[in-house]
Structures are given as structure tokens and as C-alpha cells.
Amino acid sequence: MRTLDQILAESAKRHKHLCPRQVLGARMGLFAAELLGLELPRGDKRLLVISETDGCAVDGLIAATGCRVGSRTLRILDFGKVAATFTDTYTEESIRIVPRLQARFTSAEHALGARSNWEAMLLGYQVMPVSELFITQRVKLDAPLSEIVNRPGNKAICTICGEEVMNGREVLNNGIVLCRACAGEGYYHSFAESMTAEIVERIKGN
């Protein structure tokens, strides 16, 4: 088993330096695996991590768990919280972990000699007992795992935009197959077709 130091070194390499939230992410991952009885890091798809923020904490989560977006074992649901839910996809047991609000202050008691609040958090988070650091809840995911995880190999074509939708992410609207964007869940509006043509021309011109 790797030590916290080794995990943090790996996280810091990815992050260019070490910061307190990476420590939180790493310790959340380690603690969740301990509670679920899973060995880390994982090279399979057994552990699913749903992180409620992007950014620093995620690098700690990745370093500790081995779960990655590219292997479809890490999801970001951006609620702007340093919090994550860890699901054992075999047993469907889920644990959500969120750092205690007070931890940023109590960390100083575990980092005597720290020269700043930031350093107190960085050092304190590494040694604080999990009971002081985290709030831990057993939770149940709202959507069935089969919906969250994947239906690899599934492919559909959206009736409106004609784009391919993988992994069962299409939606049915009155029996019509749509992508989520065309079903009204989009995150962008496209310019008119002529604008797109104009951009193509400009790129060609360069």
C-alpha cells in the first residue's frame, strides 16, 4: 500500500505543487476505500467517484484512487463543493465524504509551527484524525448505477442534430431519439449556419 506521502507526491506532480485541497481529496479517497473495504489504487472499474467540484481536490482524488474521467470511473458534478461520493459498483454501497467546515481552523492545532493558515491546512490535513476532518454519510444514488455508469457499445443518432450519442446518453421524447442538447439540456447556443461557414472560410484562409 502506498503512503499518503507517495500519493501526495504523485498529486503534486500533476498539480505542479501541493496545496491543502489536494490533501483533502487524497484523504477522502483513502478513507472511503477503507470504509468500503477496497484496495487502492484501482485499475478496474469497481470504484466510482463522483466529485462535487473540479479543481485541486480532484487531483488528490485521482492520485489516491486511480479513478479517472478517461476510464469512466470519475465523474464531476460541479456543485462547487469539496465533497465526493464513492460507490462500490459491485455492492452498490455508497459513501459521501465532505470536510468539516471547522477543519480549516482546527488544522492549526495539528500543525504547530506552521507559518500561515495555508500551511496549517496543508500540514494539518495530512495528520488530522478523520473524525475531526470529515463528515461521512452512507448515501444511496438517486439514479440506478446502470444509468450512471455506462452502457458501452450503445449508440444512437439524434433525430434533430444528427450527431452520434454514446453510452445510452440519448433521451426519448415522445418516442423520438434526441441528444440531451436537443432535448433542452444543452449548455451552448450555436451561431447561424452561415456564421459557421464564415469561420471555416477564415480558418482556410489562414
Interface residues with Zn ion (CB under 5 A) are 19, 56, 158, 160-161, 179, 182
Report the nearest approach of Zn ion to the CB of residue 181 (Å): 5
CB 99 within 8 A of CB 124: no
Query: From the CB of 204, what's the least distance to Zn ion, in Å?
Result: 27
- For cell 495530512, the residue is 126
Residue 19 or 47 with smaller CB distance to Zn ion = 19
Nearer to Zn ion, 48 or 60 (CB): 60
**How many CB atoms within 10 Å of residue 133?**
25
**For the chain, percent helix, then strand, then coil, each to nearest 5?**
40, 20, 40
Dist. CA 134–CA 86, nearest whole Å: 14
What is d(CA 164, CA 77) in angstroms, rounded to the nearest whole number? 23
Nearer to Zn ion, 149 or 156 (CB): 156
* Shortest reach from residue 112's CB to Zn ion, in Å: 24
User: Considering the complex, what minimum distance in angstroms separates the CB of residue 21 from Zn ion?
Assistant: 6
- Nearer to Zn ion among residue 35 and residue 181 (C-beta): 181
How does DSSP assign 77-144, residue by residue? ---S-S-EEEEETTTTEEEEEEE-TTHHHHGGGGSTT-SSHHHHHHHHHHHS-HHHHEEEEEE--SS-
Nearer to Zn ion, 14 or 151 (CB): 14
| DSSP symbol at 192 | P
CA 177, chain centre distance (Å): 28
Distances 122 to 87, 107, 119, 125 between C-alpha atoms, Å: 27, 8, 5, 6
Min dist. Cβ of residue 88 to Zn ion (A): 28
Minimum distance between the CB of residue 20 and Zn ion, rounded to whole angstroms?
Answer: 8
Our CB check for Zn ion shows the closer of 40 and 56 to be 56
Q: Is 51 helix (H, G, I), strand (E, B) or coil?
A: strand
